[in-house]
Amino acid sequence: MNFEDLIQDVYQKIEKLEGQGETASYIPELAKVDPSNFGVHISTMNGDNYGAGNYNDKFSIQSIAKVLSLILAYRILDHKIWERVGVEPSGTAFNSLVQLESDRGIPRNPFLNAGAIVVCDILLSNLEHPKQEFLDFVRSISNTTTIDYSKKIARSEKEVGYRNVALCNYIKSFGQIENEPTDVLDFYYDVCSLEMSCKDLSELFLFLANDGSDIKSNKSVLNERQSKRVNALMQTCGFYDESGEFAFKVGLPGKSGVGGGIIAIHPDQYAIAVWSPQLNKKGNSYKGMKFLEEFTTRSELSLF
Amino acid sequence: MNFEDLIQDVYQKIEKLEGQGETASYIPELAKVDPSNFGVHISTMNGDNYGAGNYNDKFSIQSIAKVLSLILAYRILDHKIWERVGVEPSGTAFNSLVQLESDRGIPRNPFLNAGAIVVCDILLSNLEHPKQEFLDFVRSISNTTTIDYSKKIARSEKEVGYRNVALCNYIKSFGQIENEPTDVLDFYYDVCSLEMSCKDLSELFLFLANDGSDIKSNKSVLNERQSKRVNALMQTCGFYDESGEFAFKVGLPGKSGVGGGIIAIHPDQYAIAVWSPQLNKKGNSYKGMKFLEEFTTRSELSLF
Amino acid sequence: MNFEDLIQDVYQKIEKLEGQGETASYIPELAKVDPSNFGVHISTMNGDNYGAGNYNDKFSIQSIAKVLSLILAYRILDHKIWERVGVEPSGTAFNSLVQLESDRGIPRNPFLNAGAIVVCDILLSNLEHPKQEFLDFVRSISNTTTIDYSKKIARSEKEVGYRNVALCNYIKSFGQIENEPTDVLDFYYDVCSLEMSCKDLSELFLFLANDGSDIKSNKSVLNERQSKRVNALMQTCGFYDESGEFAFKVGLPGKSGVGGGIIAIHPDQYAIAVWSPQLNKKGNSYKGMKFLEEFTTRSELSLF
Amino acid sequence: MNFEDLIQDVYQKIEKLEGQGETASYIPELAKVDPSNFGVHISTMNGDNYGAGNYNDKFSIQSIAKVLSLILAYRILDHKIWERVGVEPSGTAFNSLVQLESDRGIPRNPFLNAGAIVVCDILLSNLEHPKQEFLDFVRSISNTTTIDYSKKIARSEKEVGYRNVALCNYIKSFGQIENEPTDVLDFYYDVCSLEMSCKDLSELFLFLANDGSDIKSNKSVLNERQSKRVNALMQTCGFYDESGEFAFKVGLPGKSGVGGGIIAIHPDQYAIAVWSPQLNKKGNSYKGMKFLEEFTTRSELSLF
């Protein structure tokens, strides 16, 4: 069965699953999204593109954007970035503050909120117009000019972001944030408010399946070593408390967001994006996880 | 360059690296091992076998044995094993006791000492002669009768194993150990005292590159799903506090032991074992890590 | 109202309180004790003694014995004892293991299980026949020869003491236990198994109201400074998670045990012992706390 | 020896102690204070007042003000205040964030920063003009109109208060702060910036030695029960990580501040204030502790 048929087939099967889970409730704007949305899009190294369902609708990519901010900061600092943030999985969320204490303000990895906040601080220190330059960067690697921030989402998240204020100021108290916490968090909320479609995402992330280079222009976004690092990080830390489970069930490097989106990379093969806003107990898209599990099992393209 | 030449080439390069790190010092018997030992062996799906250096010398595989005890327990309980032990990375060692407290005695994964102790408890409850049956099982999947426990090592580890006694009794206090802690730990020390050569290891673990089945007899050790799970666990949790680093540098599922051994699996391709007793600061073989990094980079067979 | 009348009056009022709480259930032998037992006894500096209810019945004093073992060890090591165990309150039980980790095996105070285990280790290192010598010491300061260990209670506690085994071995792993954990714990269980009556307790502890000296013979058990230290420790750490509450409600230095006993000291005035086996949620005697609160309020002899 | 002579005598002895410790360095304005300052003042129930050294100079009372904000909030909410903040000692500072996590935003006691922040939140919710009303309250119980906030100190502390921002927002994320964190902290910094002399302090706090009532007017600031509670809290939690040590060495309820001030209460006898800006390793006044230890030992007026 080719990818196109497989996508359709699995899509139809998973679509029928009874609705499970809730949309993210802690961000008021996200709670309003129609829970029945479900979209999938794959972009392959051969240049093929297939989508199903709401694959062209834009949604809040939330934490998936942490990969994009990491990539930009990584381009700037190269390996020196690892002096500010670690590369190891973190265990439970519960440990996050304890670890910041024992590690003196160095977050365990860039996909934790604490780590992504440090990455935003790095960008603030190194870019003249961080908000615009980050958006330009994302648009440039996606070859899409329609990608944009959502002011509503950013504001909505900021209004309830007490824990992020706590994290950022706690790290600052160890001297590991260079800018004013308010500025760092404003930028952080902008980054997380990016809206893209499944199509945008799979096309944008395809370079990570291609050793860091854009598949059409062959221009390097990251060098091969950096690209491998980002994939390895997504493999071990991309799914919060469910990273081990995702490694087993799907077997690909990936990253999820509380907006219900998931991006996954099969090195040398494809990038695939899924979106369904209902979340399982661990905060990852319920149908998204199910789709990718079924898809990799049937395509026998898990890494393991 | 073929595997044989590549192995030789990388071996010679890494062998020259100046000695770094110490042999494991907390277990008196391990501290006596000659630090200059260095061996490598690969077994491929095509049936090829190549070795270099001390690949035929037996050494204490230590925590690598935790994969073997897990496999045997997994065969017995299948997915019910995950009611007793988790599948997620653990963060720092520091958290291990805090997590046991908040998780009421359920270790985060079977490769932590706490998790491996629970696996030993499972085997004790399910086997009539656990020590003999476990050895028979290991010999049977390795097709080698020369593999054996080391009484000296087991005794040496037991004598200083206060932290393991603490872990086992702490878990027992949550009702998550069924047998007497003394019996569980005696068996645990036996398991960790297994001695094998790099050749033994790569031949034994090749079935994990083959979806769980022995390559010659085609007999199933684990089913495909179970085999995928074990590989995913090695990918995310196999190297203590350096699992993320190993995923990046080597990009393969693997497991290390404080005896200086490392096993790594490339699904559908090969299993490779390395041994050099000098450990880096995280407790993994210094030369072993270097060798595998260079080997996968040059063979371009990292998963990422 | 004199002490005698006040004791009778308060006793009758508290006795009528409807039974609340359970007897300690984790030690099978303690669970068998008749929950309706209720006794009180006061010994004053003037040499007066008054009792009410079951004041002459012996019961398991449990953690109250931790004060006695501390006193004997304090006599031996004087202030050097504080190199092995701290003098500060510990916060929640939850923190106990985390603190042992960050404090490298030094318990926060001698009334935590961890601290009392270290005190027992000290006695084991410094006495030839610790079990007999400790009993002799207790008998000598109480002027009673009928005080003895309970083999049944010691055995009952040992059988379920997995958490204590964990604590002792964990401390040992930091090099802060000198003897074999099994020997330390056997002695610890003996110490906690001491049986006394309220009368025994109030007479025995009266020397702490008298700057450390026996009231009749004027022989010094502790010097004045040591006596002050023990009282201060009971004030800040004597009631587990309810030390602050006890300081407020009763306002005296004191120590409770899960057998339902409480001893409290009013410096320069008296020692008073209460016993009622039903425990409140924090593990302290329900009626014992109520009695002492009412007694100190009406005698206006709280320290605050 | 009467109090006057004893104060003079001990003052002269302690004054000669070689300077030890540093002035608080984390608040720039506090670091500028002359470290040689040393003052003492006692106010007794008999109406006597004696001072020595810089007893009339005003200094930043810092955390001593946490007792005053607690008292005002306690007057407003009475025992309902304990639904928002606990009454137990906290163990190490290290645990503070872990405990907030496990206790869902309820600080262990009102003298921790976290607890004092919650108390400020309560005042903000219950007063119309919190800043003015709190100052009026303090002036009214001290019968002094010269007490005031220091804008400089408040601003200086705010500029480096990242950890307090973290604490306040963390508690807010559990829903346990009602007002905006910025407002709560602004008020908190004002409260801590109060400046008083030793004379002001001992006169102000004397009511806590008098069961809660002003000694001259006999007007009740707190009722007897509330007064006992505040004293008990100072006894068990007043000196951070050195509360047990202070209970032993001084044996009185008390509270210290990083400005180098200490207030201590001897119920039914006196209130005494000491000030010397050099701090010991635990953050309490070095000479202040020494003075009180010597004073209570020689006056034999320790509680124990």
Q: Cα-flanking dihedrals φ and ψ of residue C87, to 5°?
A: -130, 20
Out of C162, C163, C173, whose CB is closest to B162?
Answer: C173
Residue B296 to residue B302: CA distance in whole angstroms: 5
The percentage of residues in chain A with a pLDDT greater than 90, rounded to a whole number, is 79
Searching chain B, which residue's CA lies closest to the CA of residue C161? Answer: B173
Taking every pair of C-alpha atoms in chain A, what is the biggest distance, in angstroms?
A: 56
Structural domain contains residue A134: yes
Neighbour subunits, C (≥3 Cβ pairs < 8 A): B, D
CB contact under 8 A, A231 and B109: no
Residue A151 structure tokens = 């002011």
**Which residues in chain A touch residue B228, judged by CB atoms under 8 angstroms apart?**
248, 251, 302, 304
Residue C121 to residue C85: CA distance in whole angstroms: 11
Structural domain contains residue A304: no
Per-residue model confidence as pLDDT tens digits over C79-116: 999 999 999 988 666 556 777 887 889 999 999 999 99
User: Are residues A110 and A171 in contact, defined by beta-carbon separation less than 8 angstroms?
Assistant: no
Catalytic status, residue A11: no
Residue C80 structure tokens = 């050097």
Structural domain contains residue D148: yes
pLDDT bin (cut points 50, 70, 90) of residue D233 is: very high
Residue D300, pLDDT > 90, answer no
Task: Using an 8 Å CB-CB cutoff, list residues of chain A that contact chain B.
Answer: 86-92, 94-95, 98-99, 102, 108-109, 227-229, 231-233, 235-237, 241-245, 247-248, 251, 253, 267, 302-304
Structural domain contains residue B304: no
Query: pTM (2 decimals)?
Result: 0.92
Residue D176 to residue D167: CA distance in whole angstroms: 11
Structural domain contains residue D304: no
Residue A296 to residue A274: CA distance in whole angstroms: 13
Residue A95 structure tokens = 């440990």
pLDDT at C300: 75
Task: Provide the number of structural domains found in chain B.
Answer: 1
pLDDT at D266: 95
CB contact under 8 A, C97 and B94: no
pLDDT at C31: 87
Chains B and C form CB pairs within 8 A to the count of 46
Structural domain contains residue C244: yes
- Per mean pLDDT, which range of A95-104, A287-296, D184-193 is the poorest? A95-104
CB contact under 8 A, D228 and C251: yes
Q: Which residues of B are catalytic?
A: 63, 66, 188, 240, 258
Alpha helices in A53-112 (DSSP H): 65-77, 95-102
Catalytic residue among C74, C188, C189, C286: C188
Residue D93, pLDDT > 90, answer no
Residue D71 to residue B207: CA distance in whole angstroms: 71
Question: Which of A250-279 are b and which e, b meaning 16 or more Cβ less than 10 Å from the residue's Cβ?
Answer: bbbbbbbbbbbbbbbbbbebbbbbbbbbbb
Task: Using an 8 Å CB-CB cutoff, list residues of chain C that contact chain D.
Answer: 86-92, 94-95, 98-99, 102, 108-109, 227-229, 231-233, 235-237, 241-245, 247-248, 251, 253, 267, 302-304
3-state secondary structure of D264: strand
Q: For chain B, percent helix, then strand, then coil, each to nearest 5?
A: 50, 10, 35
Min Cα–Cα distance to chain B from C96, Å: 10
Pick the residue of C94, C100, C173 with the most B CBs within 10 A to test the interface with B by mutation.
C173
pLDDT at D47: 93
Min Cα–Cα distance to chain D from A189, Å: 17
pLDDT bin (cut points 50, 70, 90) of residue A301 is: low
- Of D107, D105, D23, the residue nearest D62 (C-alpha): D23
Q: Which residues contact A118 (CB under 8 A, 6 or more apart)?
A: A84, A85, A107, A110, A171, A176, A177
Pick the residue of A82, A88, A112 with the most B CBs within 10 A to test the interface with B by mutation.
A88
Catalytic status, residue A165: no
pLDDT at D301: 66
pLDDT at D101: 80
Structural domain contains residue A259: yes
Q: What is the mean pLDDT of residues D105-133?
A: 96
- Per mean pLDDT, which range of A99-108, C215-224, D205-214 is the poorest? A99-108
In a structure prediction context, what are the per-residue pLDDT tens digits for chain B, which is 304 residues long? 688 999 999 999 999 987 778 888 888 888 889 999 999 999 999 999 999 999 999 999 999 999 999 999 999 999 999 999 999 988 666 556 777 887 889 999 999 999 999 999 999 999 999 999 999 999 999 988 999 999 999 999 999 899 999 999 999 999 999 999 999 999 999 999 999 999 999 999 999 999 999 999 999 999 999 999 999 999 999 998 888 899 989 999 999 999 999 999 999 999 999 999 999 998 999 999 999 999 998 887 666 7
Q: Which residues contact C164 (CB under 8 A, 6 or more apart)?
A: C113, C117, C185, C188
pLDDT bin (cut points 50, 70, 90) of residue C258 is: very high
Q: What is the mean pLDDT of residues C155-166?
A: 93
Which residue range is the domain that position C211 belongs to?
Answer: 3-299
pLDDT at A41: 98
Neighbour subunits, D (≥3 Cβ pairs < 8 A): A, C
**Which residues in chain D touch residue C88, judged by CB atoms under 8 angstroms apart?**
89, 91, 241-245
pLDDT at A274: 98
Out of A108, A227, A244, whose CB is closest to B88?
Answer: A244
pLDDT at C1: 65
Q: Which residues contact D103 (CB under 8 A, 6 or more apart)?
A: D86
Searching chain A, which residue's CA lies closest to the CA of residue D177? Answer: A162
CB contact under 8 A, C235 and D231: no
Per-residue model confidence as pLDDT tens digits over A164-205: 999 999 999 999 999 999 999 999 999 999 999 999 999 999
Q: What is the mean pLDDT of residues C237-245?
A: 88
Q: What is the mean pLDDT of chain D?
A: 93
**Which residues in chain C touch residue D251, judged by CB atoms under 8 angstroms apart?**
228, 232
DSSP run (H or E) holding B228: helix B224-237
CB contact under 8 A, C91 and D102: no
Please give the angle made by the CA atoms of B189, B190 and B196, to the nearest 5 degrees. 115
Residue A155, pLDDT > 70, answer yes
Residue D146 to residue D133: CA distance in whole angstroms: 15
Q: What is the mean pLDDT of residues C272-286?
A: 94
User: Are residues D271 and D202 in contact, defined by beta-carbon separation less than 8 angstroms?
Assistant: yes
Q: Which residues contact A255 (CB under 8 A, 6 or more apart)?
A: A63, A64, A66, A67, A111, A234, A238, A239, A262, A263
What CATH number is associated with residue C229?
3.40.710.10
User: Are residues A124 and A69 in contact, defined by beta-carbon separation less than 8 angstroms?
Assistant: no
Quick one: how far is CA C215 from the chain centroid?
20
**Which residues in chain A touch residue D97, judged by CB atoms under 8 angstroms apart?**
97-98, 101, 170
Q: What is the mean pLDDT of residues C159-173?
A: 94
Burial degree of D300 (CB within 10 A; 0-12, 13-18, 19+): exposed
ipTM for the predicted complex comes to 0.91
Q: Using alpha carbons, list the distances in angstroms from residue A110 to A82, A107, A115, C167.
A: 9, 7, 4, 36
Structural domain contains residue B222: yes
Out of C94, C98, C170, whose CB is closest to B166?
Answer: C170
Q: What is the mean pLDDT of chain C?
A: 93
pLDDT bin (cut points 50, 70, 90) of residue A95 is: low
